[in-house]
Amino acid sequence: MENVIVVTGGSRGIGAATARLAAKRGYAVCVNYRQREAAAQQVVADIQAMGGRAIAIAANVASEPDVVALFQQVDEQLGPLTALVNNAGILEQQMRVEMMDADRLNRIFTTNITSCFLCAREAIKRMSTANGGRGGAIVNVSSVAARLGSPGEYVDYAASKGAIDTLTLGLAKEVADHGIRVNAVRPGFIDTEIHASGGEPNRIDRVKSTVPMQRGGAAEEVANAILWLLSHEASYTTGAFIDIAGGK
Ligand code: NAP
């Protein structure tokens, strides 16, 4: 039977690389995005050009009705879900904690944390052997920020990723006997557009000398680890973390 995957935030960056690699590995792929439809449709077109099956679905994963509708569309258009990558995430303008207001904190926490709980819930409903599903795997995209803290830049973002690490540990144990594995990747400085959201598009050039490998990473290097964690090769791996950070 065909594997079916939802990649949240699959239109750009790490999510797009993951969607493309998943298609190469034979998954039918749902490329979720928030607003950049053209970018999402380009990922779908690339997958279709390789002979794969993909759809693009707009949904704000911080919104419960959007998440419910997203998974219903996957049921209808791709079939039974077997994998979820909780990848969508945001950061905002670099600033110290003393400058952060509640609106910003709520945007970061709902987009980076609530979304992962909601998408995991919808995936578990479908994949759990306790519900008649055939099992599956979830990979959460955390960050090394969870253990570095991102002082002076975005402690709120780092804290949201700390929550994702704890979600990974707890959920992995909760659903282990329901045929579902839950793991996380923790990327370091990866060359994507997310750094522009923090106000510093060339951030990697500034910080790469602090990385033992002296360079930033590519989205494809993160995607490789995600696809391994989803695969049967990782069949006895759950509640685990892979840091993809050049030794940082
Ligand atoms: P990116 O290039 O900025 O792409 C973000 C993606 O998330 C886009 O597809 C965007 O959709 C989508 N998105 C944002 N908010 C969304 C929402 N509310 N609902 C649905 N989709 C949403 O980011 P990236 O660097 O690839 O980051 C992906 C993940 O890796 C994030 O969780 C990030 O925290 C994590 N990470 C990144 C790095 C890094 O250095 N790049 C390091 C550690 C961890 P649109 O295209 O429609 O805007």
How remote is the CA of residue 166 from the centroid of ligand 1, in Å? 20
Average pLDDT of span 3-8 = 98
Q: Is 192 in the pocket of ligand 1 (CB under 6 A)?
A: yes
Q: What is the pLDDT of residues 126-145, one digit of tens each?
A: 999 999 999 999 999 999 99
Fold exhibited by the domain 4-244: Rossmann fold (3.40.50)
Q: Is 154 a catalytic residue?
A: no
Q: Is 113 in the pocket of ligand 1 (CB under 6 A)?
A: no
In this structure, how many other beta carbons lie within 10 angstroms of the beta carbon of residue 68? 14
Contact (CB, 8 A) for 154 and 89? no
Candidates 27, 33, 154, 157; catalytic one: 157
Probe target for ligand 1 pocket from 6, 90, 153, 204, with the most ligand atoms within 8 Å of CB: 90
What is the pTM for the complete model shown? 0.98
- 1 — pLDDT class (breaks 50, 70, 90): confident
In this structure, how many other beta carbons lie within 10 angstroms of the beta carbon of residue 70? 22
d(CA 50, CA 46): 7
d(CA 243, CA 149): 15
Q: What is the pLDDT of residues 49-103, one digit of tens each?
A: 999 999 999 999 999 999 999 999 999 999 999 999 999 999 999 999 999 999 9
Domain ranges for the chain: 4-244
